Chains A and B, each alone.
Chain A
């Protein structure tokens, strides 16, 4: 029958279509399907490497890791996102929006890349997830070490915090070893030494069936923990510094001027970096960034202040080194001086009477330094300041350092288009006017003046693992005699009837200088209400070192809007120095005894 031919034709045609479709799938689109099949069956479970511990100089743990579980979503496994969300909101403390935000944020990442939905699950949440693993293979509780800052907000700006790598950072070469979702150091030494601390994540490759159950492990790369990082910080001093600053906005820097080791760095108000280890919610973040005192700001290196009267010791050494100052020559302070047609006041209305260098430093006489400023001129002040590293980066191993400003004629011309007025030099001579430095810079400058050496300040000792690129300042080559004069003058500030008596530590020869810098000009201040005036109160400074000979420790304290340096900042420095002395006097005594014993035991010496 002829009609059967049509049947035959229909059969052949249909089979050709099937063959064609088969060809398309397994030949033309082979690569694509092969990858899909591989991803289907092999699941990569990340094994997060714990970050290295951070220790203080005596090996006390400042930062470690706690066992913690993250909730991770495998997007490829999602059958119904709505159902997944409902399931989660029933048993896990998380809201719909957060889940959706996390999923949305990850939309540009490869679909097999797991998305972290929530950090730090409670044990109840983990068991809820485990109990429903079969129904929800798309969700998994993954163990991830959580960064733990043992002393909460202690040294928060220095230690820094960790957070999820941003899209911006992913493009950065420094973070090329990282992948989306990784936690990296966001600030502080966590960031500077991120590569060292981060370690290398491992992973387990497991063969899973269609319901996500593991059939067998087919490979594993063990995670490599991050390296331990020992800081130069001394927890004891850090504790005192934080405790003494309390909630006053301000900063404390403690360094060893002989080798540049940073012993304590406090910046207040601070934040609790533990909060950043889990995702901050909107309100917490909002609160942190809208706080007028800006707790995220690292005042040690990111805030610049007028040095105020502290700058007078810089001026004094500059005068001596420039040969324009005889330390014994007295000037007469009558409470002010007329210079360049303006009357500049001394802070002591009645005047200091006849003062030489030592008394001028001790009592912080303005007039003495007005006249010195006049002699030196802005150009020499600037050059000398820069020899001390003022207005230059200190190169400390913390991110985001600001440089501040030491003014000059060129600077003014360039930025304001106006000529430098000689009168402005007079303000700069007492650390006011357009001069601003960071507490870190000031501490280093005092250290250089006290020791004559200029090591680069740092938080981590250079070692095989840490290759720091530190650029120390050129050796200042100050005359020993001049340095001795400054040290003696600063000693008298604390130990005679000077402005820094509150920093005195019995048995420890503390030298220092107070400062009270205006945050705005007198005339502007007069226009403010009382409340505003309070807000724009003076910054209190104390910068000092000890002991007088062979100084071992430099302390710089600034309390913002704190009032007088002698009253507010000096006692804080005193407490820190006392704590240092208490810790180290035994060492010194032992050394002394040893020295005596060796000389006593030497028959030739007798």
Chain B
């Protein structure tokens, strides 16, 4: 399966960009945990990074067609695991979405993202039509909704919500006619306000606070407000490593995970933060390029799905730190601390690299 020709097409640019971002993340985690937080988090993150890169290389080595062909098998297994978690999972930070395996905390819902992308890509690849039909849309939605419902049941609304933009992005690539687009949008618009009533009180407040962070700076808009203060007070060049008073004295929560971008921006200023954003954009652009040059529809849908996955995570996470999205508690892939997220991201990138390597192979 692996041959020299394939290795010769390995995309070092994509891989390199990802590793640089991950190293910046390690640096950030180091700084974030100087004044408390988990011990040796940055060392552990380096270990996760090693595991992630290994996973990535494994993902490159297996032909993506094999993975796509078995997508429904993986999907079935993922659904079973999610169901199992509802009974045997461990609750951390209010969501019962964790499994403890030999002392390690694993969040399977992270990996399910890649599996869903694979499943959606597989379904889309087998359609040989320029535009999607209504029943295709229905099936795609169901593929997405099943894990979403399970994840919501685990209590992890933020993670669950991230599946929808991925689906929408892939639908857009697959092609939706205007009439069907309208239907999708209409359904979304109808479901979204209805969803308001299913939200918990604090979740509604968070959304309101994003719209108006000054509404109650000490109360519900607190996180957003403090994050904005941190970023704003960093100025152009930042306060310097380890001197981010806002982040490091605990005004900003979760700086080694969800709010790591805030810490980076406070320490390294506008300059550092925009370098991170530009690196991210380069990575995404590269993914789109890989999708464009992919050999077949399977490759296109896999890579564009992965691009959407990473894009929406970055958009919502960074958007939440600067105050354009409510804080819904999702990590910034590659930068945030966390084994599951890191491994998932590198696995996803491995898939993309896989597609890239095999673009000329029959």
Residues of A that sit less than 8 Å from B by CB: 1, 3-4, 6-8, 10-12, 14-15, 17-19, 21-23, 25-27, 29-30, 32-34, 36-38, 40-41, 76-80, 207-211, 215
With contacts A26-B236, A30-B232 taken as known, whether A8 is within 8 angstroms of B288 at the C-beta atoms is yes
Total contacts A-B at CB 8 Å: 130
Which of B175, B269, B288 touches A26 (beta carbons < 8 Å)? B269
Main secondary structure of the interface of A (DSSP, over half): helix
Query: Distance in Å from the Cβ of B136 to the closest Cβ of chain A?
Result: 16
Interface residues of B (CB under 8 A from A): 169, 172-175, 218-219, 222, 226, 228-236, 245-246, 249-251, 265, 269-270, 273-274, 277, 280-281, 284-285, 288, 291-292, 300, 304, 307-308, 311, 315, 318-319, 322-324
List B contacts of A10 (CB < 8 A).
311
Query: A210's contact among B251, B270, B277, by CB below 8 Å, is which?
Result: B251
Listed by A's residue number, 7 A-B pairs whose Cβ atoms lie within 8 Å are A4-B291, A7-B173, A7-B307, A22-B273, A22-B277, A29-B232, A207-B249
Does the CB pair B229–A11 fall under 8 Å?
no
* B285 touches which of A11, A34, A76 (Cβ 8 Å): A11
Q: Quick one: closest B residue to A8, CB to CB?
A: B288
With A34-B235, A215-B249 given, is the CB distance from A22 to B322 under 8 Å?
Answer: yes
**A28 nearest CB neighbor, chain B only:** B232
Q: Is the CB of A25 within 8 A of B169?
A: no
Q: Which A-chain residue is minimally distant from B222 (CB atoms)? A: A79
Partner of B281, one of A12, A32, A77: A12
Q: Does A40 lie within 8 Å of B311, measured CB to CB?
A: no
| A40-B307 Cα distance, complex, nearest whole Å | 39
Q: Which residues of B contact A19 (CB under 8 A)?
A: 274, 277
Taking each of A37, A210, A211, which has the highest tally of chain B beta carbons within 10 Å of its own beta carbon?
Answer: A37
- Is the Cβ of B219 less than 8 Å from the Cβ of A34? no
Give the nearest-CB partner of A29 in chain B.
B232
Please tell me which one of the listed residues B235, B280, B300 contacts residue A15 in the complex, with CB atoms under 8 A apart: B280
Q: In the complex, what residues of A have CB within 8 A of residue B173's CB?
A: 1, 3-4, 7
Residue ID in chain B nearest A33 by CB atoms:
B232
A352 to B229, CA, bound (A): 93
Pick the contact of B318 from A11, A18, A78 — CB < 8 Å?
A: A18
Chain A contacts for B175, CB-based, 8 A: 3
Chain A residues contacting B292 (CB-CB under 8 Å) are 1, 4
5 more A-B contacts (CB under 8 A) besides A7-B173, A17-B324, A37-B233? A3-B173, A22-B274, A22-B277, A27-B235, A37-B230
**Residues in A whose Cβ lies below 8 Å from that of B232:** 25-26, 29-30, 32-34, 36-37
Q: Name B294's closest neighbour in chain A (CB-CB).
A: A1
Measured between C-beta atoms, what is the minimum distance from B262 to chain A in Å? 10
Residues of B within 8 A of A30 (CB): 232-233, 235-236
CB-contact partner of A34 in B233, B273, B311, B322, under 8 A: B233
Most chain B Cβ neighbours within 10 Å, of A3, A18, A23, A32: A18
Specify which chain A residues have a CB less than 8 angstroms from the CB of B174 in the assembled complex: 3
Instruction: Kindly list chain B residues whose C-beta atoms are within 8 Å of the C-beta of A76.
Output: 218
User: How long is the Cα–Cα vector from A34 to B233 in the complex, in angstroms?
Assistant: 4
By a CB distance below 8 angstroms, the chain B residues around A34 are 232-233, 235
CA distance A435 to B37 in the complex (A): 82
Which are the 8 A-B pairs with shortest beta-carbon distances? A33-B232, A37-B233, A210-B250, A25-B232, A26-B270, A209-B249, A41-B245, A21-B322
A210 touching B311, Cβ below 8 Å = no
Q: Across the interface, do B172 and A37 meet the contact criterion of CB distance under 8 Å?
A: no
From A25, A40, A79, A207, residue with most partner B Cβ within 10 Å: A25
- Determine the residue in chain A with the shortest Cβ distance to B170: A7
Say which residue of B169, B231, B246 sits within 8 Å of A41 (CB atoms). Answer: B246
Q: Is the CB of A26 within 8 A of B315?
A: no
Say yes or no: B288 contacts A4, CB within 8 Å: yes
Bound-state Cα–Cα, A32 to B251, Å: 17
Q: CB distance A26 to B229 under 8 Å?
A: no
Min C-beta distance of B128 to chain A, whole Å: 14
A234 to chain B, nearest CB (A): 57
Q: Are A25 and B228 in contact (CB under 8 A)?
A: yes
- Residues of chain A within 8 A (CB-CB) of B222 are 79
Contact status B229-A33, CB under 8 Å: yes
Query: Which residues of chain B come closer than 8 Å to A208, judged between CB atoms?
Result: 249
Q: Which residues of B contact A3 (CB under 8 A)?
A: 172-175
Give Cα A36–Cα B246 distance, bound, in whole angstroms: 10
Q: What chain B residues lie within 8 Å of A12 (beta carbons)? A: 281
- Assess the B246–A37 pair: CB atoms within 8 A: yes
Contacts of B285 in A (CB 8 A): 8, 11
In the complex, what distance in Å separates the CA atom of A386 from the CA atom of B218? 66
**B270 partner, pick from A27, A32, A79, A209, beta carbons under 8 A:** A27
Does B281 contact A11, Cβ atoms closer than 8 Å?
A: yes
Check A41–B249 contact: CB distance below 8 A.
Answer: yes
Nearest opposing residue in chain B for A30, CB measure: B235
B245 pairs with A7, CB closer than 8 A: no
Q: Given A4-B304, A33-B229, verify A40-B315 contact (CB < 8 Å).
A: no
> Known interface pairs A26-B232, A79-B218. Does A14 touch B265 (Cβ–Cβ under 8 Å)?
no
A108→B110 CA distance, assembly (Å): 51
User: Is A211 a contact partner of B250 (Cβ separation < 8 A)?
Assistant: yes
- Which of chain B's residues have a CB closer than 8 A to the CB of A38? 233
Identity of the chain B residue whose Cβ is nearest the Cβ of A11 in the assembled complex: B284
Query: Which residue of B280, B300, B322 has the most chain A CB atoms within 10 A of its CB atom?
Result: B322
Which residue of chain B lies nearest to A211 when distances are taken between CB atoms in the complex? Answer: B250
- With CB as the reference atom, state the residue of chain B lying closest to A18: B318
CB-defined contacts of A6 to chain B, threshold 8 Å: 172
Find out whether the CB atom of A79 lies under 8 angstroms from the CB atom of B219: yes
Chain B contacts for A37, CB-based, 8 A:
229-230, 232-233, 245-246
Expressed in whole angstroms, the Cα–Cα distance for A150 and B323 within the complex equals 58
**A-side contacts of B280, CB under 8 Å:** 15
> Measured between alpha carbons, how far is A77 from B232 in the docked complex, in Å?
20
Q: Is the CB of B322 within 8 A of A18?
A: yes
Report how far A78 CA is from B273 CA in the complex, Å: 31
CA distance A177 to B330 in the complex (A): 52
Asked whether A7 lies within 8 Å of B172 as measured between CB atoms, the reply is: yes
